[in-house]
Structure 1
Amino acid sequence: MRILLAMAAAVCLAAPAQALSVFTCEPEWAALVRQLAPDAEVRSATHARQDPHHIEARPSLIAALRRADVAVCTGASLESGWLPMLQQRSGNPRVQKGAAGMVYAADHVALIDPRPAGSPFEGDVHSEGNPHLHLDPRRLLDAAAAVRDALAQAESAKKAEIHQRHAAWERDWRARIVQWERKAAPLRGMRVAAQHTTYGYLWRWLGIEQVADLEPKPGMPPTPGHLQRVLELTRPAPPRAVVVSSYQDARPAQWLAQQFGVPVLQLPATVLDEAPVADLPTLFDHLIDRLLAVPR
């Protein structure tokens, strides 16, 4: 019996520690977690070619959230159509609203453009403010600190390592912000038309003005009548480009851009799974480079 007990103890001691499991709602948070906890097992519920407002609460996502030690999502109602269902069905107390392992980035960042709550027929209206906060690298600093704290609490044995990685990431990130702002200085005052408020934080950070929204109501696809009104209103001072996200249908933007004789920019709204936008730094590099390439 003693020999068996000793063998069992040896097996337990030899077994590798289970990796920290992190569920993220969007790829930008998965990319951030991988920087702070590279050994973690990370699963993102969405990818860059999906609208994060509207996804299906698939069984595989429920299973992933059930295993999670930490979950990182944007909040501000961005995932309100599907995340609460995942949380309920997962039955995981670590990632319920209010739990230490559940991080909503929007709770730690000052949001722009709050709107009064509307009816269900008014589309994707976020009363708390614009949820696409990750496209301002300065606000990512505040969100990253909250993610750091949740990861360190969930994996206390590696708390010091997580804090050290975060400190190194923050130093590098602040230096990148200075470089991006210097490089993007010629974009200040640029006028664009865009679909949705996806890039609202990017515009504000870089001093770009969105002069029209291709959507008649937030989250609703462009209609011919609305596009015609946009054309009439902006014809006296047309935008330099029409911008859509990689998950949006580019055809309405192409029609409008053709009327103005300006280019369409179909930009990624988050990190891709491949180059040239495989992580957060290259996302901002790519966005700024694409905007700078627009003819004056």
Structure 2
Amino acid sequence: MTFRNAFAALLLLVAAVPAEAQLRVFTCEPEWTALVRALVPDAAVTTATSHLQDPHYIEARPSLIAAVRRADIAICTGASLEAGWLPMLLQRASNPDIQRGRAGLFFAADHAKLHAPHDHVDRSMGDVHPEGNPHVHLSPNQLPEIAGALAKRLGEIEPEMAAAIQSRYIRWRGDWNSLRAEWRARAVALQGQSLVVQHSNFGYLLRWLGVEMAADLEPKPGLPPGASHLSQLLANPDLEDASAILIASYQDPQPAQWLAEQTGLPVVVVPGTVTGKAPTETLGGLISEIIRQVELAVSGAPNGSV
């Protein structure tokens, strides 16, 4: 056999070997995309929302329907966070593997202990989640448990990748433990401080840090702050002890700015989730940056909201 014929035969042999299928993932929020990237770096991921969007209110667009239809697994927060749009998305996508009760649908909240669950919920209470606060991706203690459960589920979806996924999870958890020890040391100086917030986005992290929530800009969960409620806030004696007003980058800054003008409190604007850009492109980086911004506000130093 000539060299040319041998080379041609080798090319045909290589072409005949099936390529390893790329894991196709749909995520409802960017925090789960970041976690997938840590566990399966080569996965093809479609994310429904960004840090500039409120994940409660998303349109079930045709592009998202198509992404769910192609996906091997969908990863969402659950706890009714996506109740306004995810059921319609799943119905229209008609992907039999991504339905409630199937391995292809993963809810992070199912693997966490949520704060403030409610036995009874009605519309008069605002946008309250009966399962509890769904923004658990900012819980330093609970996120590793969610990541471990996700690593296990991804390994079930792609058994040939299971060992590699578990190895990456162990490495990720080691890095997380180191960051958590650093955050705990920094939290000592924040114990007993208080902030004005809007919604419960940062509730898990602030509680873990020992930072109190002096007041909420929202009159009820999910309801935009109105002039009457904001005026009533001025009479709240807890404002005297607050260090700053903390809001997420997707929230309307005007109510916070109005209250700041009345009280002299600084406004700190941070992403509620990962952004894809340093220093908040990972969940560890996001929490580190939020803590840094709170430290600046408490110290009275000028902050550089991101």
Matched letter for residue 117 of structure 2: P
**Alignment match, 2:222:** 219
Q: Which residues of structure 2 form unaligned runs of 5+?
A: 1-8, 301-306
- Give me the whole-angstrom Cα distance separating, in 1, the residues matched to 2:239 and 2:142: 35
Match of 1:26 in 2: 29
Cα separation, partners in 2 of 1:158 and 1:13, compared to 1, 3 Å: farther
Partners of 2:103 and 2:18 in 1: how far apart? Answer: 27
Q: What does residue 133 of structure 2 align with?
A: 130
Q: Is the CA contact (8 Å cut-off) linking 1:212 and 1:234 kept in structure 2?
A: no
Distance 2:15 2:70 in 1: 21
SS at 2:151 equivalent: helix
Match of 1:85 among 74, 83, 88: 88
TM-score normalized by the length of structure 2: 0.90
Give the conservation status (yes or no) of the 8 Å contact 2:215–2:238.
no
* Structure 1 residue 249 displacement after superposition: 0.6
Work out whether 1:189 is the aligned partner of 2:192: yes
Aligned match for 1:173, one of 166, 176, 183: 176
Per the normalisation by structure 1, the TM-score is 0.93
Checking the alignment, whether the CA contact within 8 Å between 1:27 and 1:48 is kept in structure 2 is yes
**Secondary structure at 1:46's aligned position in 2?**
coil
Instruction: Report matched runs for 1:1-296 at 5 Å.
Output: 10=13, 13-234=16-237, 237-294=240-297, 295=299
Tell me which amino acid in the other structure corresponds to 1:78: L
Q: Identical aligned pairs, as a percentage?
A: 49
**AA of the residue aligned to 1:216:** P
Preserved contact between residue 103 and residue 146 of structure 1 (Cα < 8 Å) = no
Residue by residue over 1:154-199, the C-alpha shift from the partner in whole angstroms, topping out at 9 and shown as x without a partner, is 1111111111111111111111101111123211111111110111
Tell me, in whole angstroms, the C-alpha distance in 2 between the residues paired with 1:76 and 1:236.
31
**Structure 1 unaligned blocks of 5 or more:** 1-5
- Secondary structure of 1:137 counterpart: coil
**In structure 1, distance between residues paired with 2:238 and 2:261:** 12
The 1:236–1:246 alpha-carbon spacing in structure 2 relative to 1, beyond 3 Å, is: closer
Q: What is the DSSP-based 3-state SS (H/G/I as helix, E as strand, rest coil) of the residue aligned with 1:151?
A: helix
Measured against aligned partners, the alpha-carbon deviations of 1:32-56 in whole angstroms (never above 9, x if no partner) come to 0000011111111110000001110
The AA in structure 2 aligned to 1:189 is G
Q: Which amino acid aligns with 2:88?
A: M
